[in-house]
Amino acid sequence: MPHILLVEDDSDIMRINRSFLENEGYTVHCADSVQSAAFKLEECVPDLVILDVMLPDGDGMEFCKLLRTKTQAPVIFLTARDENDSVIMGFRSGGDDYITKPYDLNVLKARIEAQLRRNTNQQVQHPKIELPYLTVDLFSGTVTLDGNECSLPQRELQILYLLASHIGSRISYHDIYQNIYGCDVEDSKNTIRVNISRLKKHLSLDDMSTYEIASTSEGEYVLRRVIF
């Protein structure tokens, strides 16, 4: 399910929103300040951001400008201000939608679904994932990691795209094989292990790389950001 970054300094609103969204099946990452939200962005790349305008250590609109340098995920502003100038500033700072407090949770749900649906359609038209220091472009067949561009074989490119689409989440070898090859065979675990090994070699992943591909004993793989 999609990952949502919820940035809200009111603990009651955060608790209510988080409980509601998790019950709807979303994975929710919470932050109560600009600083903690910036830290969360280093841990995962959200599919959507719900951002309060007034935060204790900064302005949500200014943070949105920083956010746009790291991800193009939709941003929904939450605010008690409904003046036209404030709404315009929100859109100009990179926001995609604007909800005035108080609001109905079902309205918030509908806005989230609309933004995720629109973003998914855009990704289908432009099969490119842009993360901090990593870009995976299915159309051109290229990957840019830490400023270095390289071309990948089709299978390795598709696997990296899949892992990057679920950054920070573990994906089983079975799901990877089904997604890439469209079927399942007895030796699928070994096939994916070889694919991953080749992918790491092509990307020249080492101790100084911004990302790593980790594995578990159960045959799960995860692409995650390395924090130095």
Instruction: Give the percent of the chain with pLDDT over 70.
Output: 91
Cα 184 from Cα 177, distance rounded (Å): 7
Which pLDDT score is estimated for 125? 54
| Structural domains present in the chain | 3-125 (3.40.50.2300), 128-225 (1.10.10.10)
Instruction: Tell me if 160 sits within 8 A of 136, measured CB to CB.
Output: yes
Instruction: Give the percent of the chain with pLDDT over 90.
Output: 36
* Tens of pLDDT, residues 13-54: 999 999 999 999 999 999 999 999 988 887 777 889 999 998
Cα 226 from Cα 228, distance rounded (Å): 6
Which pLDDT score is estimated for 33? 95
Cα 178 from Cα 172, distance rounded (Å): 10
Average pLDDT over residues 68-92: 77
**97-100 sheet: strands from edge to edge:** 27-31, 3-7, 48-52, 75-79, 97-100
Q: To the nearest whole number, what is the mean pLDDT of the chain?
A: 85
Instruction: Tell me if 195 sits within 8 A of 155, measured CB to CB.
Output: yes
Question: Is residue 188 over pLDDT 90?
Answer: no
Task: Please tell me the number of Cα atoms within 13 Å of 178 on its side-chain side.
Answer: 5
